[in-house]
Amino acid sequence: MKKLFNPKKILVISIFLLVSFTTIFPFLWMLSTSFKSHGEVFSLTPQFIPDNLFEPGMWDNYVAVLQDYNFIRFLLNSTLVAGLATLGQIFTCSLGGFAFARMKFPGK
């Protein structure tokens, strides 16, 4: 008969859950904060769920970013820089890989 509760399996799953929560929580906090008003963000007693969730004005912060700042231009600039950096890395790593493929060294 197979044991239902294997202590080793429970420990491994607990560690995975802890690491998953530690990794995901900051992203959930950022998403939650993006819906908060200025006063709620700098409140001495932080709360995870904003007061204006699912109420009119919930999307005001996103509207302000798109209207008041040149967000689309910033996004395009970041995409361009990241794309060019990626292409540069691919090019230089390909040259290095080719050189290592042709070299003879111990352990190859």
Chain-wide mean pLDDT for the chain? 92
| pLDDT band at 97; cut points 50, 70, 90 | very high
Q: How far is Cα 100 from Cα 85, in angstroms, rounded to an integer? A: 22
pLDDT given for residue 1 in this prediction: 59
User: How many CB atoms lie under 10 A from the CB of residue 33?
Assistant: 14
Give the pLDDT confidence of 31-67 residue by residue, as tens digits: 999 999 888 999 999 899 998 888 888 899 999 999 9
Q: How far is Cα 11 from Cα 14, in angstroms, rounded to an integer? A: 5
Give the pLDDT confidence of 4-40 residue by residue, as tens digits: 778 899 999 999 999 999 999 999 999 999 999 888 9
